[in-house]
Structure 1
Amino acid sequence: MGIRDHSTAPRSPWQNAYAERLIGSIRRECLDRVVVTSEAQLRRILRRYADYYDRARTHRSLSKDCPVSRPFRTTGAISSAPVFGGLHHVCART
């Protein structure tokens, strides 16, 4: 794929702003609100968050769309479903 590893300087988060932003989002939106008791639980939580992040969470830089684009509907009732035990909700038209 042509990806090469490049180390950043210690204590220099501005050198890798994209990764720092993602880590901050994961902490604020997910991990700060749950008690993780095992590595297996952490992996499950991170997999669920990755799916939520890509398929349901809106992003300002994508004109409030998701990285995995979804059809835009203007009619129908709006339904809401809890994610992560109610920490977040996914809304969609039915």
Structure 2
Amino acid sequence: MKIVKTFLFITFSPFFFPLISVATEPGLGICKGKENICCDGYYEENGTCKVCPGGSYGKNCTQTCPENLYGEFCRGKCKCTTEETCNPVKGCM
């Protein structure tokens, strides 16, 4: 899994042995403690975790947004008129 940004932390133990750990920047989609696994809401493409396209969510973006929700991470809430329907990608149409 390709990590775009990393931070290197060096601390010293009481025995003066440096302890080195690498942390990924939050939001890269790689689940903490699960090396090479994209979190829910992300999919893997060319070794990089990418955000699910609008209208989808879940592991590898396999699920469509629930009714009355739309967009990236299904964060949009539809408030459609009676003539409109909620599109999982674009909202009320």
- TM-score, L = length of structure 1: 0.29
Task: Work out which of the two has the higher radius of gyration on C-alpha atoms and give 1 or 2.
Answer: 2
> Which has the larger strand fraction?
2
- TM-score, L = length of structure 2: 0.29
> Which has the larger helix fraction?
1
Higher relative contact order by CA 8 Å / sep ≥ 6: 1 or 2? 2
